[in-house]
Structure 1
Amino acid sequence: MSNNSNCLLVANIFAPIHGGSANVYASLCRLAPKGTMAVLATRHNYDLNEPIAGWQEHDRNCGYTVERLELLRSPVLPPPANKLVSVYRRLAIDLPIARQVLSKTLELIKRHQVGVICIGELVSMAWLGELARKLTGVRLMYYIHGEEVTTQFQAGSFGRKRLVYLRRADAVIAVSRFTRQTLIDLGIPAERIHLVENAVDTTRFCPGPVDQAFLERWGVSNKRLVVSIGRLIARKGFDRSIEAWPAVLERHPDAHLLIVGNGPQRAELEQLIDHHGVRHSVTLTGPVSDADLLAAYRSGEFFMMANRTLADGDTEGFGLVFLEANGCERAVIGGRAGGAVDAIKDEETGLLIDCQHPENIATAVVRLLDDRALRQRLQQNGLQHALANSWTTRALQFHQLCQSLVK
């Protein structure tokens, strides 16, 4: 094993994908001491079964090493019709991907004198961390956001194994106090858990003017814009936001919900928009550029992500988008669920509500649209909250942890 504290980060979800975990990993790499971070990522979205737009440009300009394979895990496919199909997939798809991933990982560990491997997705990549440690002696770290340890798995699946993997790790990072306590409750030794709370790059996510060109491009120049940003998956609550929108329109006919991002729930959300008759006042943008992402934050009257805990326990581990919106001096609405309670100071930087029920969402949206003084107070407090939670400090924490593991 190398005594070097250089770290190899392995992540299925990585920039230029827009989303909390992707932003977390990119920020750690960007602000780490030069030459200490390398990344193994993917060129293809495993859940959308489509290429990741803009990865070549990102990797050329990011300032740190990124190596990509087509996939790091098996793509999402329909359930196998029978055991024969399951065996075929295992032999023809799963194992070839795994061999390629392991080979590239070992190559990167050697080339970059890696002493620590950080696995960004426990569920799909724990096997890689364990095998890399066994073959090379690197220290093994898992980056835990929350849903990996709150989601209930069916009997016989990964659910029983994840605690074994976590207990064998050299270190486990928790992104919020909620996630840390969940890990402790599951029996992970507290001394092995390191709290590195999510933060925001306030040199990028900072106050700025409303982008009129952005508004015109999406046809919302004369609307009262509410912005939501994130991967289109169930726990983010975009479906509940759409269900709430007719009630918002009753009070504010000029309100418009702009949902920025992409994900496996997109087709379902499009159907919901049509079902509720709100096509004229709800827009799904799909993936956008970094510049347009910033324009979206700055151009809304406030930000909302109606996150909730699903029946299987899947929940937000933190909710980095809330801090990014605060950094752009925007008030936020979020769900009183998971780690969002660590990201939002209720009635100070935003509103925490029960987002299981669309009527609660509508009430909160109408309240902020009605009350300009409240919006201004929340956004001013939110900006100070963002400034107090900088990625520079968190990146230093991460690097110091890597150094401590190889001593």
Structure 2
Amino acid sequence: MTVLVVTNDFPPRQGGIENFVRSLCDELPEVVVYTSREPRDAAYDATLPFPVVRDRTSMLLPTARITKRAVQLLQEHGADRVLFGAAAPLGLMGPALRRAGARRIVGLTHGHETWWAGVPGTRQALRKIAEAADTLTTVSSWCEDQIRPALSPAAAQRVRRLTPGVNTRRFAPNCGGEQVRKGLGLEGVPVVACVSRLIRRKGQDTLIKAWPLVQESVPDAKLLLVGGGPDRQYLEELAVRTGVSQDVVFTGPVPWAEIPPYVDAAEVFAVPCRTRRFGLEPEALGIATLEASAAGKPVVVGDSGGAPDTVRHGETGYLVDPYNPVAVGVRIADLLSNPQHCKELGAAGRQWVTEEWSWTRSGAVLRELLDV
């Protein structure tokens, strides 16, 4: 029962979707991955316990050539199950793979399929993708609400929730934060961390704008921005204009394997994510928030798309208006001023993630959907 995984979202490219797809591969008995070319991919692929076939292009699209290659791999490896790492647009290859012998086809949806569901043309394409698959999965209740109406009644009934899991052994309290603090010169000061790509949707600019208000209550508080991205220069300049450049620490890109200690280095984890581009660019879920909860950190999360699924408001952290730096600043300042409340929220978050967001549960759902 070999599964052919067809995806553009695969390491060494960094990101939540890439880690999601990679981790799901570990939950399947036999896997072959067909994916796009990435810098330094050969060295990464050599570490994996399953074969990875890289296309010559940097992005797989459902063209005739790539569809033919996917069919060849299905047959060469004796695969009879297919998992599309992103249903749109790769799921358009579904009918050809079905004719070639695929018995079960599952398409993962993330954030971008939500706008496919709402735009004429792509809406019809998404409907075709769902008809060709046995199941489309969604990562959050919000994504499901957006996608279901675009599908036929029969396909809508086959939609299932498949969320990422969290490795609670890697993301755990005291998993190396003190070493990170020492290395960054943050010993003995309150730290708020945001671990994410530096892009507008994640709301790092809101945190910087909120920081003067935070420092009115907690003067020595530092903001730790972990990750790289196209907004680095904009955020650095914003910190200068806001007068907090000495209190904002940029780490640059950090390999995913080294992320847990950076989360552990903080008292509070904050990502005031927001929906952009007239609703076409939402936050589908936000696995980093759940990882922070697993590390025992209270979380402050923007109310965007499926992000509310990652926090129990008032129990593991708080939802905030991502367009309101004052509200964000007040919430963060209140948490930093109440260490005991932070500990209580963090402990509740770790218990919740341990019980309900495990890879064991996610893997069981996927194996059921693929019938393996």
Name the TM-score class by shorter chain: 0.7 to 0.9
2:276 counterpart residue number: 310
Which amino acid letter does the alignment assign opposite residue 310 of structure 1?
A: R
Matched, 1:348 2:315: yes
Superposition pairs for residues 45-84 of structure 1, below 5 Å? 51=39, 55-69=41-55, 71-73=57-59
Using the TM superposition, give the Cα deviation of residue 347 of structure 1 relative to its aligned residue in structure 2, in angstroms: 0.7
Using the TM superposition, give the Cα deviation of residue 345 of structure 1 relative to its aligned residue in structure 2, in angstroms: 0.6
Using the TM superposition, give the Cα deviation of residue 219 of structure 1 relative to its aligned residue in structure 2, in angstroms: 3.1
Which amino acid letter does the alignment assign opposite residue 179 of structure 1?
A: C
TM-score by length of 2: 0.87
1:328 pairs with one of 292, 295, 301 = 295
1:221 counterpart residue number: 187
2:368 counterpart residue number: 400
| Compared CA separation, residues 169 and 275, structure 1 to 2 (3 A) | farther
Cα-to-partner distance string for 1:368-391 (whole Å, 9 max, x where unaligned): 111112101100100101111210
Cα-to-partner distance string for 1:78-137 (whole Å, 9 max, x where unaligned): xxxxxxxxxxxxxxxx89xx5664454234322322222222234443444454445554
Cα-to-partner distance string for 1:190-214 (whole Å, 9 max, x where unaligned): 3210112332122322222443332
1:165 pairs with one of 108, 124, 129 = 129
TM-score by length of 1: 0.81
2:325 counterpart residue number: 358
1:37 counterpart residue number: 31
1:185 pairs with one of 120, 126, 149 = 149
- Asked whether the 8 Å contact 1:152–1:312 carries over to 2, the reply is no
| Compared CA separation, residues 56 and 324, structure 1 to 2 (3 A) | farther
| Mean CA deviation greater in 222-231 or 202-211 | 202-211
Distance 1:190 1:119 in 2: 18
| Compared CA separation, residues 112 and 286, structure 1 to 2 (3 A) | farther
Using the TM superposition, give the Cα deviation of residue 24 of structure 1 relative to its aligned residue in structure 2, in angstroms: 1.5
1:380 pairs with one of 328, 334, 347 = 347
Let me know the Cα RMSD of the aligned residues. 2.7
Using the TM superposition, give the Cα deviation of residue 174 of structure 1 relative to its aligned residue in structure 2, in angstroms: 1.2
2:244 counterpart residue number: 278
Using the TM superposition, give the Cα deviation of residue 299 of structure 1 relative to its aligned residue in structure 2, in angstroms: 1.1
Distance 2:184 2:117 in 1: 39
- Asked whether the 8 Å contact 1:16–1:55 carries over to 2, the reply is yes
Which amino acid letter does the alignment assign opposite residue 142 of structure 1?
A: G
Distance 1:140 1:261 in 2: 34
Which amino acid letter does the alignment assign opposite residue 187 of structure 2?
A: S
Using the TM superposition, give the Cα deviation of residue 55 of structure 1 relative to its aligned residue in structure 2, in angstroms: 4.3
Identity, % of aligned positions: 29
Which amino acid letter does the alignment assign opposite residue 260 of structure 1?
A: V
1:299 pairs with one of 265, 278, 294 = 265
The answer for unaligned runs of 5 or more in structure 1 is: 45-50, 75-93
Matched, 1:237 2:231: no
1:11 pairs with one of 4, 7, 11 = 7
Using the TM superposition, give the Cα deviation of residue 395 of structure 1 relative to its aligned residue in structure 2, in angstroms: 0.6
Using the TM superposition, give the Cα deviation of residue 306 of structure 1 relative to its aligned residue in structure 2, in angstroms: 0.9
- Asked whether the 8 Å contact 1:238–1:305 carries over to 2, the reply is yes
| Mean CA deviation greater in 310-319 or 368-377 | 310-319
Distance 1:262 1:15 in 2: 16
1:146 counterpart residue number: 111
- Asked whether the 8 Å contact 2:88–2:109 carries over to 1, the reply is no
3-state SS in 1 of match to 2:278: coil
Which amino acid letter does the alignment assign opposite residue 175 of structure 1?
A: V
| Compared CA separation, residues 168 and 372, structure 1 to 2 (3 A) | same
The answer for unaligned runs of 5 or more in structure 2 is: none
1:28 pairs with one of 8, 24, 42 = 24
Cα-to-partner distance string for 1:154-196 (whole Å, 9 max, x where unaligned): 766x355333323443210111222222222334533210112
| Compared CA separation, residues 151 and 164, structure 1 to 2 (3 A) | closer
